[in-house]
Structure 1
Amino acid sequence: MAKILLRKENLFYNLDIISKKAGSIEKVAVVLKDNAYGHGLIEIGKLASEYGIKKAVVRTIDDALKIEKFFDYIVILAEKSFHTYSHTFHIALNTCEDIERLPINSNVHIKIDTGMHRSGIKPSELEKAILGLSKRNIHITGVFTHHKGADELSTNFFWQKAVFSSIKENVKKICEQLSLPIPAFHSCNSAALFRTSDFDEDFARVGIATYGYIDNADVFKFPKLKPVMSLWANRISTRTLKKGQSVGYGGKFSATEDMIVSNYDVGYGDGFLRLNERKTYTTPKGYKVLGRVSMDNLSLNTDDEKVCIFDDVNALAKVHDTITYEITTTLNPNIEKEIV
């Protein structure tokens, strides 16, 4: 079976850079949603904890339960099946309609819609939300937002920062009036953190940078990060393809001369998607994917026993006309993972 190798050294290198930018390791919350962006929830959670990270961000309660022993503070972004939670869990409130459904005495982070218009309460609903939560003895432990274009050259980033700054002042005023503790504030994702010159929030939610990527890094002159994941495949069979013979579904590749071709045990069933046949993909060692990718295998012009399919998904993202996130999160979570 194919295998994902996770380089501990690269992960720690990235966390060093992130922690320095945030000001301290205490101000870093590692985002582990969607199986840690395809890298393995448990594997990355354990390594981040070993490094010293105390905060994590996940999508659901099920994910939080799996990594509870690794972290002191876990933000759950998109849970709808509310029940009694551990004191280490902090539930995101994405709409005022959910206030009555939250467990009494739970910890809540209020999400504010500062312009992305996807989820979060309106700024005008802030006082209503705080009053509603406090009446139900729910602890407001955080207030946050999400940037819609921190990795793009536009005014959106600065505009949303300004909106959230006013939100923070309003939250402090309301909490002082109600004698409530001031909650933690957080808004920065990976790109936003590196675009902020003097980071002064309680923590940053760092996702894709943890794993070695930030889109448009060259444009903003972000620091060079190191990809954590590499995908490896094993040889199934080898044959000599004669000149004029084709390989794979549809015969989309035909040999221009006699050549060695081998089949390897990774395909779109594993999340390595079919390639745009107008483009080619070459592995780090220089082997070409020949013809169409099958469900469980693909063909390469080599007879190596094991082949690294990728160790940096930037090139593959360009082939698929997508972003690095989509390449890594699409990988089948059942692929074996090994920390090296």
Structure 2
Amino acid sequence: MAKILLNKENLFYNFDVISNKTGSKEKVAVVLKDNAYGHGLIEIGTLASEYGIKKAVVRTIDDALKIEKLFDYIVILAEKTFHTYSHTFHIALNSLEDINKLPKNSNVHIKVDTGMHRNGILPEQIEEAFLGLSKREINVTGVFTHHKGADELSTNFFWQKAVFSSVKENVKRICEQLSLPLPAFHSCNSAALFRTSNFDESFARVGIATYGYLDNADIFKFPKLKPVMSLWANKLSSRILKKGQSTGYGGKYIAEENIVISTYDIGYGDGFLRLNERKSYTTPKGYKVLGRVSMDNLCLNTDDEKVCIFDDVNALAQVHDTITYEITTTLNPNIEKEIV
């Protein structure tokens, strides 16, 4: 079966760049949701812990339980069934209605909608949220928001920062009135962190930058990061494709001369999506995907025993007219992973 190689040196390089920007490793929360963006929850979590990262962000409690021993502080973004909790877990409150579903004595981060209009309470509901949580003896350990366009040239980034600054001041007032400790404040995702001149929040939630990517990096002059993942496939068979013969479903590739072709054990069943045959994709070593990608294999103009399908998904994202996130998270989580 195909294999994903995870480059430890590149990951640690990215962590160096990120922690230099935040000011310390303690201010980095590595985002491990959706199987660490396809890179492997346990694998990346273990490496992040080895590097010295103490905070993580996941999607569900089940994911938090899998990495509980690796981190001191885990933010859970989108859980609706609170079947268990731990002192290391900090559950995101995405709506006022969820207050009554939270376990007593649990730790909660209130999410505030500063303009994305997806999840979170309204800024004017922050006092109501604090009072409701206090009545249920729930600890407010964080207040946060999420940027909708930090990687785009627009005023949204600055507008949301201003709204969240106002929220912070209101939270400080409420905490003083209720004699509550100040919670952690966090708003920066990867792009927002690198667009912030003087980072002064409790920590940054760093996702895609961890894995070596930042959209529109050239526009904002973001630092160069190194992709962590490469995808490798093994040869299944080889043959001579004669001039005029085709290969694959629909016979979309027709040989213009006699060539050697081979099939490899990766396909859309593994998350390497079908290519629109009107566009072409070339591997890092210069081999072309010939015709349509099948469920379990694809064809290349080589007979190498092993082939690197990609070591940087930017080119593939352009072929599919999508973003790097979608390419990596689409990969089948059952693909074997090896740290190199």
TM-score tier (shorter)? over 0.9
User: Contact conserved, 1:109 with 1:141, CA < 8 A, in 2?
Assistant: yes
Query: What's 1:123 paired with?
Result: 123
CA distance in 1, matches of 2:113, 2:300: 48
CA distance in 2, matches of 1:84, 1:266: 38
Query: Does residue 97 in structure 1 map to residue 68 in structure 2?
Result: no
Q: Secondary structure at the match of 2:75?
A: strand
Superposed CA offset, 1:66-119 (max 9, x none): 000100000000000013311000000000000011000000000000000000
Q: Which moved more, 1:79-88 or 1:147-156?
A: 79-88
Superposed CA offset, 1:260-316 (max 9, x none): 000000000000000121110000000000000000000000000000000000000
Trace 1:186-205 onto structure 2 (pairs within 5 A). Answer: 186-205=186-205
CA distance in 2, matches of 1:114, 1:276: 39
Query: What's 1:42 paired with?
Result: 42
Query: Does residue 109 in structure 1 map to residue 121 in structure 2?
Result: no
4+ runs deviating over 4 angstroms: none
User: Contact conserved, 1:84 with 1:106, CA < 8 A, in 2?
Assistant: no
Write the letter of the residue equivalent to 1:188. Answer: C
Structure 1, unaligned runs of 5 or more: none
CA distance in 2, matches of 1:252, 1:63: 42
Query: What's 1:181 paired with?
Result: 181
Trace 1:169-318 onto structure 2 (pairs within 5 A). Answer: 169-318=169-318
CA distance in 1, matches of 2:69, 2:101: 26
CA distance in 1, matches of 2:143, 2:17: 25
Q: Secondary structure at the match of 1:69?
A: coil
Query: What's 1:151 paired with?
Result: 151
Write the letter of the residue equivalent to 1:332. Answer: N
CA distance in 2, matches of 1:267, 1:84: 38
Cα displacement (A) at 1:241 = 0.1
Q: Secondary structure at the match of 1:276?
A: coil
Q: How many residues align?
A: 340
CA distance in 2, matches of 1:321, 1:236: 29
CA distance in 2, matches of 1:86, 1:132: 21
Query: Does residue 165 in structure 1 map to residue 165 in structure 2?
Result: yes
CA distance in 1, matches of 2:230, 2:247: 26
Query: What's 1:339 paired with?
Result: 339
Q: Secondary structure at the match of 1:226?
A: coil
Write the letter of the residue equivalent to 2:44. Answer: I
Superposed CA offset, 1:215-258 (max 9, x none): 00000000000000000000000000000000000000000000
CA distance in 1, matches of 2:55, 2:273: 33
Query: What's 2:32 paired with?
Result: 32
Q: Secondary structure at the match of 1:318?
A: helix
CA distance in 2, matches of 1:287, 1:208: 27
User: Contact conserved, 1:99 with 1:132, CA < 8 A, in 2?
Assistant: yes
User: Contact conserved, 1:242 with 1:257, CA < 8 A, in 2?
Assistant: yes
CA distance in 1, matches of 2:270, 2:97: 39
Query: What's 1:6 paired with?
Result: 6
What's the TM-score, normalizing by structure 2?
1.00
CA distance in 1, matches of 2:276, 2:92: 39
Structure 2, unaligned runs of 5 or more: none
CA distance in 2, matches of 1:279, 1:176: 60
Q: Which moved more, 1:7-16 or 1:80-89?
A: 80-89
What's the RMSD between the two structures over aligned residues? 0.4
Write the letter of the residue equivalent to 1:210. Answer: T
User: Contact conserved, 1:83 with 1:102, CA < 8 A, in 2?
Assistant: no
Superposed CA offset, 1:105-154 (max 9, x none): 00000000000000000111110000000111000000000000000000
Write the letter of the residue equivalent to 2:161. Answer: K
How many percent of aligned residue pairs carry the same amino acid?
A: 86
CA distance in 1, matches of 2:281, 2:84: 48
Q: Secondary structure at the match of 1:70?
A: coil
Cα displacement (A) at 1:57 = 0.0
Q: Secondary structure at the match of 1:235?
A: strand
Query: What's 1:326 paired with?
Result: 326
Q: Secondary structure at the match of 1:68?
A: coil
CA distance in 2, matches of 1:297, 1:338: 21
CA distance in 1, matches of 2:91, 2:277: 44
Trace 1:131-150 onto structure 2 (pairs within 5 A). Answer: 131-150=131-150
CA distance in 2, matches of 1:240, 1:35: 40
Q: Secondary structure at the match of 1:142?
A: strand
CA distance in 1, matches of 2:275, 2:144: 38
What's the TM-score, normalizing by structure 1?
1.00
